[in-house]
Chains A and B, each alone.
Chain A
Amino acid sequence: MVRRLAWQAARVLETRPETATARTLVLDVPEWPGHLAGQHVDVRLTAEDGYRAMRSYSIASAPDGSRIAITVQRLPDGEVSPYLVDGVSVGDRLELRGPVGGWFVWEPSSRIPVLLVAGGSGSVPLIAMLRARIATGSTARFRLIYSARTLADVLHADELAAAPEGVGVDLVLTREESPSGRPAGRLRLDDLGRPRGPVDVYVCGPTGFVESAATMLVTLGYDEARIRTERFGGGGRP
């Protein structure tokens, strides 16, 4: 039987500020079929006059029954994100469909080392992969390289600071020195390092960041066939 992907009402169970401009919404989705880390949901808002706006948001949580979390970054001229970050309250309902996307996903059964490269709020599907690794007891080696403007812009910072054994986290801050002492500046070749053996790479961020990171990875000898990217640009998920 084919499951048609229907819009359904999700209830907001909890809201959690992440940074000054980002918030996590924990949602209960009664008919949730489960998901893989890296998948996203489409959220649709309808105004009183019938005007509709739809955006895609990556799922931030590991599979957990009918609960999912999304972490939304407020964009200054966004149509949907300001409402999700500042407007929604616990108990509200949101129209949502998902999970969708079967390509930018990490399978917990894989033993291949993983490199995650995040630009800004592109960290969200990658933290879902980290969480899924922890939740499933996977021992695959993970390394996250996370580029953000400042330390205050880093999402899920406490969790990243407490990353378990086998998970490396490197912050690349573009506007201030990183806690590791790395000077402020955009992602460079030395931040990524060369691959030692096969590595599955997931890159997510704004289009320009993803283009530049993917080019560097190929230059460094990462196998292009193992690099998966997700870009969000102007039309992506304001």
Chain B
Amino acid sequence: MTTQHEYVDGNRLAGPLADVFAVDITAASTSCIGCGRRSVVAQLHVYVVGEGYVARCPGCQDPVLRYARTSTGGVLDLRGTLSLQVPLPG
């Protein structure tokens, strides 16, 4: 387990995830597959390595979302996410 001071939060994902989503995904809410907790993406605990991001559930620390930018594309892994609820204008 890493210390609590090494992560930032999901606000940091706004720019990187704009590569792959047409809407701001940090305001979306997710359900963690590990513990069921609902979190706003902006509040996930994010660990950054270069242009790779692992966003963990603030409750159980399971990975909820992973994203990496490579020289040829973006790799998004949503295996830890039960659903993403995205606020959209009516």
- A binding-site residues for B, Cβ under 8 Å: 2, 4-5, 40-42, 54, 56, 97-98, 100-104, 206-208, 211, 228-236
Contacts and interface: CB of A to CB of B under 8 A. Distances in A.
B48 A101 contact: no
Interface in B39-63: 40-43, 46-49, 51
Interface string B9-35: 101101110110010101100000000
Contacts of A97: 15, 18
Contacts of B7: 207, 231, 233, 235
A40 B5 contact: no
B14 A100 contact: yes
Given A101-B42, A235-B48, A229 B9 contact: yes
A103 B15 contact: no
A2 B22 contact: yes
A40 B46 CA distance: 16
A234 B5 contact: yes
B5 A233 contact: yes
14 contacts: A4-B18, A40-B15, A41-B15, A97-B15, A100-B26, A101-B11, A101-B14, A101-B26, A103-B26, A103-B40, A103-B41, A208-B5, A231-B7, A235-B47
B24 to A, nearest CB: 4
A96 B24 CA distance: 17
Given A102-B24, A231-B7, 13 more contacts: A40-B11, A40-B15, A42-B15, A54-B51, A97-B15, A97-B18, A100-B14, A101-B24, A102-B14, A207-B8, A228-B42, A235-B7, A235-B46
Which 5 pairs, one residue from A and one from B, show the smallest C-beta to C-beta distance?
A235-B48, A100-B14, A102-B24, A103-B42, A42-B15
A54 B16 CA distance: 10
Contacts of B40: 103
Contacts of B22: 2
Contacts of B47: 235
Given A56-B15, A101-B14, A104-B11, A211 B43 contact: no
